[in-house]
């Protein structure tokens, strides 16, 4: 199943107001200027999951180049249909090990990473501490990186969403997180009170569940603050089932905390979810929080899996 980022809707306007509308939009639209740390000169783009539409791909590349970054694109990125598993694996490994590439920026999520993670030569990749950025279906890759002790995973905006979905605040946060700079406190909703501290992990719920239940590649959640988001593509009945299975199977028993982020469900499904999560929270041993700005949404704060996070009992998140 594809996990599709939420786009920003556009409307036609009369010609007399078009210029002012465009100027206003341009001012609010994030740019790639200063997006990456000073040591990043070359950005590698790979696509281990679904295909990104060519216009969106080229637009993102142009914005990165305009900002002064050199962009290297994988051999199987500018394609109309998803490349074979072996080719996507080859692309990922080649770009990771390219001495000129400073950071890997995933083109998009969607689906397909499940076929890739078991075929990547993680032992070979441990020779280079590559930074990798993505989320959604890329949850599978980032969390496998943890279990395989390879590279430095960051979960958050990708090429497909950074310039069309995320607000300026999220892009500012993106750079600060990559820099290891000071970040503002974030207030979240308390579902089960308690102080928590630990390194983060997590991502899309269905992909976490897949790693835990269908592979031997899931990292331990012990001592970790587990961030969880989910798209509305998956019904709430499945969401409830996956969370219960993660709990009942013992995966979350030693977690430092669970933090629910953006769930895109609306209407009756949203109501059911809002009733379920507080009850579910009480069945976990750790503190539980909700409404963290991360996931398939306009405000998506990048998460560094190697940067400790603390959460107070009253729901203040400090990085």
Classify residue 177: in a domain, yes or no: no
Classify residue 20: in a domain, yes or no: no
Domain housing 214? 186-318
Domain check: are 135 and 85 in the same one?
A: yes
Classify residue 196: in a domain, yes or no: yes
Q: Which of residues 131, 165, 199 is at a domain's end?
A: 165
Domains of the chain: total: 2
Q: Which of residues 112, 136, 165 is at a domain's end?
A: 165
Classify residue 278: in a domain, yes or no: yes
Q: What is the pLDDT of residue 34?
A: 86
Q: Find the CATH number of the domain harbouring 279.
A: 3.50.30.60
Q: Find the CATH number of the domain harbouring 39.
A: 3.40.50.10740
pLDDT tens series, the chain, 319 aa: 445 333 333 222 222 233 333 333 344 456 788 899 999 999 999 999 999 999 999 999 999 999 999 999 999 999 999 999 999 999 999 999 999 999 999 999 999 999 999 999 999 999 999 999 999 999 999 999 999 999 999 999 999 887 778 899 999 999 999 999 999 999 999 999 999 999 999 999 999 999 999 999 999 999 999 999 999 999 999 999 999 999 999 999 999 999 999 999 999 999 999 999 999 999 999 999 999 999 999 999 999 999 999 999 999 999 9
What one-character-per-residue DSSP string does the chain give?
---PPPPPP-----HHHHHHHHHHHHHHS---TT-S-TT--EEEEE-SSSPPPHHHHHHHHHHHHHTT-EEEE-TTTS-SSPPPHHHHHHHHHHHHH-TT--EEEE---SS-HHHHTTTS-HHHHTTS--EEEE-GGGHHHHHHHHHHT-SEEEES--HHHHTTT--HHHHHHHHHHHHT-----EE-EEEE---EEE-EEEEEHHHHHHHHHH-S-PPP-TT-EEEEEE-TTS-HHHHHHHHHHHHHTTTTTT-SEEEEEEE---HHHHHHHHHHHHHHHTTSSS-EEE--S-SSSSS---EETTS-EEE-TT-EEE-
Q: Closest Cα partner for 199 from 151, 154, 169?
A: 154
Domain check: are 66 and 127 in the same one?
A: yes
199 C-beta neighbours (distance < 10 Å), count: 15
d(CA 162, CA 9): 15
Cα distances (angstroms) measured from residue 148 to each of 205, 218, 297: 20, 9, 29
Classify residue 309: in a domain, yes or no: yes
d(CA 197, CA 200): 9
Parallel, antiparallel, or unpaired: how do β-strands 42-46 and 103-106 relate? parallel
Domain check: are 219 and 291 in the same one?
A: yes
φ, ψ for residue 256, nearest 5 deg:
-70, -35
Q: What is the pLDDT of residue 30?
A: 60
Q: What is the pLDDT of residue 15?
A: 27
Domain check: are 202 and 155 in the same one?
A: no
Q: What is the pLDDT of residue 32?
A: 84
d(CA 295, CA 293): 7
Q: Which of residues 165, 196, 215 is at a domain's end?
A: 165
d(CA 283, CA 289): 13
80 C-beta neighbours (distance < 10 Å), count: 7
d(CA 277, CA 272): 9
d(CA 278, CA 288): 9
């Amino acid at each position: 199943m594809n996990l599709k980022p939420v786009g920003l809707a556009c409307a036609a306007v009369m010609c007399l107001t078009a210029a002012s509308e465009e100027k206003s939009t341009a001012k609010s639209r994030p740019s790639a200027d200063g997006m990456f740390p000073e040591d990043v000169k070359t950005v590698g783009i790979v696509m281990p999951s679904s295909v990104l539409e060519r216009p969106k791909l080229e637009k993102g590349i142009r914005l990165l180049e305009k900002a002064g970054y050199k962009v290297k694109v994988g051999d199987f990125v500018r394609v109309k249909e998803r490349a074979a598993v072996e080719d996507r694996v080859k692309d990922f490994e080649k770009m990771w090990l390219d001495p000129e590439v400073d950071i890997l920026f995933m083109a998009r999520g969607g689906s397909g990473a499940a076929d890739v993670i078991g075929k990547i030569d993680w032992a070979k990749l441990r020779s280079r501490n590559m930074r990798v950025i993505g989320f959604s279906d890329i949850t599978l890759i980032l969390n496998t990186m943890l279990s395989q002790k390879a590279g430095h995973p960051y979960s958050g905006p990708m090429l497909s969403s950074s310039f069309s979905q995320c607000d300026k605040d999220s892009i500012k946060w993106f750079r600060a997180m990559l820099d290891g700079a000071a970040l503002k406190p974030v207030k979240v909703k308390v579902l089960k009170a308690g102080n928590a501290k630990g390194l983060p992990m997590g991502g899309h719920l269905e992909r976490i569940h897949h790693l835990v239940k269908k592979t031997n590649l899931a990292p331990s959640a012990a001592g970790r603050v587990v961030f969880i988001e989910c798209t509305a593509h998956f019904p709430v009945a499945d969401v409830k089932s996956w969370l219960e299975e993660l709990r009942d199977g013992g995966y979350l028993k030693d977690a430092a905390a669970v933090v629910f982020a953006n769930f895109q469900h609306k209407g009756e499904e949203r109501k059911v979810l809002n009733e379920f999560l507080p009850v579910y929270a009480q069945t976990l041993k750790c503190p539980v929080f909700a409404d963290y700005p991360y996931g398939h949404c306009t405000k998506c704060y990048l998460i560094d899996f190697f940067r400790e996070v603390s959460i107070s009992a009253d729901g203040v998140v400090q990085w």
